């Protein structure tokens, strides 16, 4: 299961690419009114086991809100580098994070015992998502989801999410009035999607309800359960470790999709951040270079997959994982010997067009340096004989423009 992939965009200062007027939004429904769409949706919900009583209770919130459409259309582009984003997100939370680790020490110990996920990992998401419940969002979730389901952009997915939100109501976890959250329907102190809530939320304080809005115990245990069952968390294993890379390395090996035992990375000259040798054992790891070979470097262990499952943005996932290492006692990340300049969104967009022109698979042309774009960048770097560290540079764009 994936949480909403665009979540990271919500917390970023952004560069809008285009903001069509909300009024245009629903031309796609070809004149079908919200009310007629809603009749059809209710029929579908009943067929899937949602009771009439649940639909009646939800009715006041099953309305259309054009402000939600405008927010969805106005979403910006993720254009911050790892160091910019991590510095902003982590530095300001280096006192609140440890304070919450201490405050909830007993709870987090119980959660780790049951689910295998350590406290610093849970606290990292808890802090980054809502600052421990301060910014849960206050919009009626059912209204946001009904609006986004009626819209055609991602109708199928939001229709599913709306069905799950109704199932949460029916199960008695939250009333329709209590179910308030972020504009895209994320709920609670760690911003679960309704489907994630329904599948992974647990009642850990024993009051009979899974309450991710008010109960710290439910929030901590449910987040751990999601990471364990949805993200495949392995008890007792690390997730991310800062390393130092040598001047020369087969850079194309630095790829999330490639894992080598630590002993292999050690043979290639990768060392711990403080210069000491890596343990030369069989623990598998990927080398990730979120800002290219001159920037910060990390070994990502199998547990890093749980961070990507939470949010598939590499910058967000690496930031959350790094913050968790800080909470577990790791020192501040080094900037790397020569961190590459961050290309702004319009240049990433141009690069994506060049990559697509040459037949590389880049996914959506959106100006975002996502995993698909990084993978295409690596292939182009190999073709042009550049160090294939998957991080785009102005040089690569220039070479692709001229075709040489």
Which residue number is nearest to Ca ion in terms of Cβ?
A: 203
Burial per residue of 102-121, b for 16 or more beta-carbon CB atoms within 10 angstroms, e otherwise: eebeebbeebbeebbbbbbb
One DSSP character per residue, 96-164 reads HHHHHHHHTHHHHHHHHHHH---HHHHHHHHHHHHTTTTT---EEHHHHHHHHHHSSTTHHHHHHHHHH
Say if CB 41 and CB 63 are below 8 A apart. no
Q: Which stretch binds Ca ion (CB under 5 A): 54-62, 99-107, 207-215, 352-360?
A: 207-215
Q: How far apart are alpha carbons 370 and 385 in whole angstroms? A: 22
Q: Which stretch binds Ca ion (CB under 5 A): 123-131, 208-216, 317-325, 391-399?
A: 208-216
Q: Is 203 in the site for Ca ion (CB under 5 A)?
A: yes
Q: How far apart are alpha carbons 334 and 242 in whole angstroms? A: 9
Q: Is 151 in the site for Ca ion (CB under 5 A)?
A: no
Residue 222 C-beta: closest distance to Ca ion, Å: 9
Q: Which position among 173, 218, 242, 309 is part of the footprint of Ca ion (CB under 5 A)?
A: 218
Judged by CB, which is closer to Ca ion: 211, or 309? 211
Judged by CB, which is closer to Ca ion: 35, or 207? 207
Q: Which stretch binds Ca ion (CB under 5 A): 216-224, 274-282, 302-310, 344-352?
A: 216-224
Total of chain residues touching Ca ion, rule CB under 5 A: 7
Q: Is 172 in the site for Ca ion (CB under 5 A)?
A: no
Q: Which stretch binds Ca ion (CB under 5 A): 103-111, 117-125, 150-158, 217-225?
A: 217-225
Q: Which position among 112, 129, 205, 255 is part of the footprint of Ca ion (CB under 5 A)?
A: 205
Q: Which position among 207, 237, 281, 361 is part of the footprint of Ca ion (CB under 5 A)?
A: 207
Helix, strand or coil, per DSSP, at residue 287: strand
One DSSP character per residue, 299-343 reads EE-TTHHHHHHH---HHHHHHHHHHHHHHTTPPPPP--SSPPPPP
Q: What is the DSSP letter of 192?
A: B
Say if CB 401 and CB 354 are below 8 A apart. yes
Residue 66 C-beta: closest distance to Ca ion, Å: 35
Q: Which stretch binds Ca ion (CB under 5 A): 10-18, 88-96, 197-205, 284-292?
A: 197-205
Q: Is the dihedral of CA 159, 161, 163, 169 positive or negative?
A: negative
Q: Is 173 in the site for Ca ion (CB under 5 A)?
A: no
**Element housing 298 (H / E):** strand 297-300
Judged by CB, which is closer to Ca ion: 29, or 171? 171
| Binding residues among 24-83 for Ca ion as defined by CB under 5 A | none
Residues that bind Ca ion (CB under 5 A): 203, 205, 207, 209, 211, 215, 218
């Amino acid at each position: 299961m994936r949480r909403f992939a665009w979540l990271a965009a919500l917390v970023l200062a952004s560069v809008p690419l285009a903001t069509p007027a909300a009024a245009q939004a629903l031309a796609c429904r070809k004149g079908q009114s919200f009310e007629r769409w809603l009749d059809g949706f209710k029929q579908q919900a009943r067929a899937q086991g949602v009771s009439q009583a649940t639909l009646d209770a939800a009715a006041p919130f099953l309305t259309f809100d054009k402000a939600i459409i405008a927010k969805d259309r106005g979403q910006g582009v993720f254009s911050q580098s790892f160091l910019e984003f991590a510095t902003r997100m982590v530095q300001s939370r280096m006192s609140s994070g440890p304070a919450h680790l201490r405050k909830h020490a007993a709870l987090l110990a119980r959660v780790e015992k049951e689910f295998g996920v350590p406290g610093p990992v849970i606290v990292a998401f808890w802090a980054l998502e809502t600052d421990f419940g301060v910014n849960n969002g206050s919009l009626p979730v059912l209204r946001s989801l009904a609006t986004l389901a009626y819209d055609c952009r991602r109708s199928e997915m939001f229709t599913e999410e709306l069905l799950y939100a109704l199932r949460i109501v029916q199960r008695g976890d939250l009333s329709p009035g209590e179910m308030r959250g972020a504009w895209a329907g994320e709920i609670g102190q760690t911003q679960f999607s309704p489907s994630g809530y329904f599948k992974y939320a647990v009642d850990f304080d024993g009051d009979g309800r899974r309450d991710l809005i008010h109960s710290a115990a439910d929030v901590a245990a449910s987040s751990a359960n999601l990471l364990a069952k949805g993200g495949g968390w392995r008890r007792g294993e690390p997730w991310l470790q800062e390393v130092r890379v040598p001047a020369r390395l087969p850079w194309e090996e630095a790829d999330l999709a490639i894992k080598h035992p630590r002993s292999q990375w050690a043979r290639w000259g990768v060392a711990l951040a403080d210069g000491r040798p890596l343990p030369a054992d069989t623990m598998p790891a990927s080398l990730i270079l979120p800002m290219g070979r001159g920037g910060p470097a990390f070994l990502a262990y199998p547990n890093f997959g749980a961070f990507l499952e939470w949010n598939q943005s590499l910058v967000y996932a690496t930031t959350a994982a790094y913050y968790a290492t800080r909470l577990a006692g790791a020192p501040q990340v080094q900037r790397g010997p020569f961190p590459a300049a961050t290309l702004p969104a319009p240049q990433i967009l141009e690069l994506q067009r060049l990559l697509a022109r040459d037949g590389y698979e880049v996914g959506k042309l959106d100006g975002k340096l996502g995993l698909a774009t990084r993978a295409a960048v690596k292939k182009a770097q190999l073709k042009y004989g550049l160090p294939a560290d998957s991080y785009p540079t102005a040089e690569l764009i220039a070479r692709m423009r001229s075709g040489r």
